[in-house]
Structure 1
Amino acid sequence: MKRFLPSFGALVLVAALVGAVVWLRPEPPRPAPAPSLGVVLQYADGSRLWSSADGRPRPYLQRGRLRA
């Protein structure tokens, strides 16, 4: 019986450590959100006016720089 108690104590300690590691493990990472769909503005005839992939929309009238 004297040999059994230290072995049993060590076994309980190892089981407690393994249980704590399994219980406290981090949860798996969440999947990345779905990419947003691009926005495309079209004229009535179907030709492309602007797309979100182009960047910011340009104004129709642009000021020209004065050259000196």
Structure 2
Amino acid sequence: MDVRRLRVNELKEELGRRGLDTRGLKAELTERLQAALEAEEARRGPGGEPASDGHCKVPIGLRSV
């Protein structure tokens, strides 16, 4: 999703779905939504699926102990 192309009302709708603050200028809303999307992406496991425990899943052979 390219948040820069969204209109203010669309930004507010997306932020509201995530339980985030919907007040502010378009630049602030854009930053807030982009940060939320990046955080969601970071919480996802391989293949775009969320890890069940909230952590990234790493194959055993790739773990550094």
**Does the pair score TM above 0.5?**
no
Calculate the TM-score normalised by the size of structure 1: 0.31
Larger strand share, 1 or 2: 1
- Higher relative CO (Cα under 8 Å, sequence separation at least 6) belongs to 2
Q: Decide which structure has greater helix share.
A: 2
Bigger radius of gyration, 1 or 2?
1
TM-score, normalised relative to structure 2: 0.32
